[in-house]
């Protein structure tokens, strides 16, 4: 029996914008568990309950692995190019028909601060609306 391959990669938790450090342990190409990065300046070796369970979704059977678009009332798999083109077309049509302020963009606490920044730049600079909100503002 060949030996197991084992690696540890330090990364940042994906569950919120705080930026806690994780050590992701991978055995034979599968995420086995996560541990707090002890010397990380943000989390200092601690994790919340979400961080401790951050590996659970990676191999989950219900995880979406490809975009889905609606065709004839049903969700069907599509390529990223097809899905993104469809989104761009529908956003452009909404702006043309109802104006940029008819749209609003919602962000997530699971996004990094950089991703949230990019979303508001998309809303303001590309679409032309200031209608941006975030679930963690409460």
Note the pLDDT of residue 55: 82
- Structure tokens of 28? 């034979």
- Domain segments of the chain as ranges: 6-52, 64-98, 102-131
Determine how many CB atoms are found less than 10 A away from the CB of residue 132.
18
Domain 6-52 superfamily per CATH: ADC-like domains (2.20.25.90)
DSSP secondary structure code for residue 50 in this structure: H
Higher pLDDT pick, 137 / 18:
18
**Looking at the predicted structure, is the pLDDT value of residue 116 above 90?**
no
Q: What is the pLDDT of residues 65-107, one digit of tens each?
A: 999 999 999 999 999 999 999 999 999 999 999 999 999 999 8
Q: Which helix (H) or strand (E) holds 107?
A: strand 105-107
Between CA 115 and CA 123, with CA 79 as vertex, the angle to 5 degrees is 30
| pLDDT class of 138 with cuts at 50, 70, 90 | very low
């Amino acid at each position: 029996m060949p030996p197991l391959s084992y690696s540890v990669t330090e990364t940042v938790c994906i569950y919120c914008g705080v930026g806690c450090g994780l050590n992701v342990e991978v055995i034979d190409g599968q995420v086995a568990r996560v541990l707090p990065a002890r010397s990380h300046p943000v989390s200092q070796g601690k994790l919340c309950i979400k961080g401790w369970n951050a590996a659970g979704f990676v191999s989950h059977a219900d995880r979406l692995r490809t975009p889905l678009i609606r065709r004839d009332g049903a969700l069907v798999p599509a390529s990223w190019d097809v899905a993104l083109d469809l989104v761009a077309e529908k956003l452009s049509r909404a702006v043309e028909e109802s104006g940029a302020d008819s749209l609003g963009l919602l962000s997530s606490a699971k996004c990094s601060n950089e991703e949230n920044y990019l979303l508001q730049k998309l809303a303001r600079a590309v679409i032309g609306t200031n209608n941006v909100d975030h679930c963690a503002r409460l």
